[in-house]
Amino acid sequence: MQRGPTSFDIAALAGVSQPTVSRALSGSPSVSEATRARVLAAAEELHYKVNKNASGLRRQQSRTLAVLFFDEELPEGAELNPLYLSLLGPMVKHCAECGYDLLISIQQLSSDWHVDYEDSRKADGIILLGYGDYIEYLPKLEKLIARGTHFVRWGSGDESQIGTTVSSDNDQGGFDATSHLLSKGRRKIAFIGSADPGCPEFLERWRGYCRALRAARIEPDDSLRVDSGPSEREGREALEKLLERGTEFDAIFAVSDVAAIGAMHALQAIGRGVPEVAVVGFDDIPAASLSSPPLTTVAQDPRQAAEALIDTLIMAIEGGSPPNRVLPVKLTVRQSSG
C-alpha cells in the first residue's frame, strides 16, 4: 500500500512544523494568514488529505454517522422499504455538507446492534430507521441511552418519551387524505392498515382518518377497517378480506403506497375500476406515480426528512438537546382518487 503524504511532509514543504500544519488546516485563529496560505499551497501541491484514522484516534471521534436499517424480512432478499431508500440519497448528501460521513448498516432487530457502533468508535451517532415492532426494541433503546450513545429515531413522536424522534405529521396526513376523499363525495371510506400501537405511525394515521370523518359528522365504522401490513401482498389480501366481509365501500385509504397498489390490483382483478373506487396511499414512493392510474398519496418529503434527521443527530452529538420534530406532509392528488 503506497502511503500518501503526512502532515510532516506538508510542514517540511511549507517550512513550518507539523502542529502548525494541523492548526492551519483546521482553521485555528492562532495561525497567521501568511503561514496558513503557505500551508494550504503545500497541501494542495502534494494532494494532502487528513488521515481519518489518525485524526479520529486523536480527537476520539469519527465524524461519521451510522444509519441502521431494521428489516426483518431482508434475509429472503426482500427489498428495503422504498421510503427509507429515498431518504438515503438526501441523507448522504446532507451529511457531506455537514462534514460527516455516512455508514450504512442493515440489522435484524434481534442482533446486538445496540453495542456495535459506538463501541467500535465507528460512528459518533446513530440514525435508526425501521417500521417493525416498536415495543420489541424499546429495551435496547434504553440501553443506548444508558450508555450515552447519541441517536435519532424515525417514527412517531408523541407515543413515547424515549429518545429523540423525527417523524411526518401522520395524523395530519390521515386527516388530509380522508378529507380529500370526503370532498370527492365519498362516504364509505375503507381504512387499510393497522391501529396496533406496535406501529405508532399507522395508529396516528388512523386517528387522523377518524378525526376527518368526525369533522364530517360520520362515525368511524370498524367494519371498514382492515388490519394489514404495508406490503403489496398484504394490501391485496386486505382488500379481499374486505370483499368477503361484504361491507360496502366507495373509497380506500391505505397506510402505505405499496399496500394501496396491492389493493388497486385486487380491485382491478374483480373488475371494479379505480377511481370508481377512489384510492389514496401514503408515502409517495417512486412507484406511486408509475401505477395505473397514478396514485393519489400523502407525500413525505424525503429531503426534508433526511436533513431533519441529520441535523437533529448532529445537534445531539455536539452537545445540544434537540427537540422532537414533526414534519409537514403534502397531499399529492393524482388520478386514483377521481
Give the binding site for a copy of itself (CB under 8 A): 1-4, 47-54, 56-57, 60-62, 64, 69, 71, 74, 77, 79-80, 82, 85-86, 88-90, 92-93, 96, 101-106, 115-116, 118-122, 147-148, 232, 258, 261, 264-265, 268, 286-287, 289-292, 303
Omega cis (within 30) before 293:
yes
Residue 35 or 247 having the CB closest to DNA: 35
Q: Which is nearer to DNA, 31 or 261 (CB)?
A: 31
Complex with a copy of itself: residue 108 or 183, whichever CB lies closer: 108
End-to-end CA distance of the chain: give it in Å, rounded: 63
Q: Which does 18 bind (CB under 5 to 8 A by kind): DNA, a copy of itself, none?
A: DNA
| Residue choice 37, 41, 57, 96 for contact with DNA (CB under 7 A) | 57
Where in 14-33 is the site for DNA (CB under 7 A)? 15-20, 22-23, 25-26, 29-32
The partner in contact with residue 238, picked from a copy of itself, DNA, none with C-beta cut-offs of 5 to 8 angstroms by kind, is none
62 binds, among a copy of itself, DNA, none (CB under 5 to 8 A by kind): a copy of itself
CB 154 within 8 A of CB 165: yes
- CB-nearer residue toward a copy of itself: 62 or 194: 62
Which of a copy of itself, DNA, none lies near 6, with the C-beta cut-off 5 to 8 A by kind?
A: DNA
Judged by CB under 7 A, which of 40, 46, 50, 109 binds DNA?
A: 50
| Cβ distance to a copy of itself smaller for residue 147 or 214 | 147
Q: Minimal distance in Å, beta carbon 123 to DNA?
A: 16
- What does the alpha-carbon distance between residue 108 and residue 173 come to, in Å, rounded to a whole number? 29
CB of 289 to a copy of itself, least distance (A): 8
User: Grid coordinates 511532509 are at which residue?
Assistant: 9
80: burial class by Cβ within 10 Å (0-12, 13-18, 19+)? middle
45 interacts with, out of DNA, a copy of itself, none, CB within 5 to 8 A per kind: none
Query: Nearest distance from residue 18's CB to DNA, in Å?
Result: 5
Name the residue nearer to DNA (CB basis): 61 or 332.
Answer: 61
Residues in a beta bridge with 127 = 67, 152
20 binds, among DNA, a copy of itself, none (CB under 5 to 8 A by kind): DNA
Closest to DNA by CB, 16 vs 141, is: 16
> Binding residues for DNA, per CB under 7 A?
3, 6-8, 11, 15-20, 22-23, 25-26, 29-32, 34-35, 48, 50-51, 54-55, 57-60
